[in-house]
Amino acid sequence: MSQPLVLVVEDEPLVAMLIEDMLADLGCTVAETTDRLEPALRAANESTFDFAMIDVNLAGQPAYPEADRLAARGIPFIFITGYGAGGIDSAYAAAPVLAKPFHTEQFERVVRELLPVRQD
């Protein structure tokens, strides 16, 4: 089985690097990392990956359009936010949420819960 490909959408460079390292530790490959909504939307339309990790707030811009594009393509995603699950728009209540700051165990649990969905 090949390594899952992941899109990382995070506007804080240190957090993005941490996520990339943690994904690598779980056997995932980061297909692309972006820090703004427009490039994230392009990736959602044009790139191939198994799931995405999306910061809810990208430099003051909500990332919900990214979630909508991914959902339209059937690509699962995990929201990453400093606001916690309560800060997510109710339209996305079913989406997994990883609250910042997160610990390795929390990160691993959320990612592993999503992986079986895409790996048959």
Mean pLDDT of 34-40: 96
Neighbours of 70 (CB within 10 A): 24
Cα–Cα distance list, 98 to 23, 30, 56, 59, 78 (Å) = 14, 18, 10, 18, 7
Domains, the chain: 5-118 (3.40.50.2300)
| Per-residue pLDDT at 1 | 55
Percent pLDDT > 90 in the chain is 82
Percent pLDDT > 70 in the chain is 95
**Which one-letter amino acid corresponds to residue 102?**
F
DSSP character string of the chain: -PPPEEEEE-S-HHHHHHHHHHHHHTT-EEEEEESSHHHHHHHHHH---SEEEEESEETTEE-HHHHHHHHHTT--EEEEESS-GGGS-GGGTTS-EEESS--HHHHHHHHHHHHHHH--
Confidence of residue 119 (pLDDT cuts 50, 70, 90): very low
Mean pLDDT of 39-59: 94
| Per-residue pLDDT at 87 | 82
What is the pTM (predicted TM-score) of this model? 0.91
Average model confidence (pLDDT) for the chain?
91
66-88 pLDDT per residue, tens:
999 999 999 999 999 988 777 89
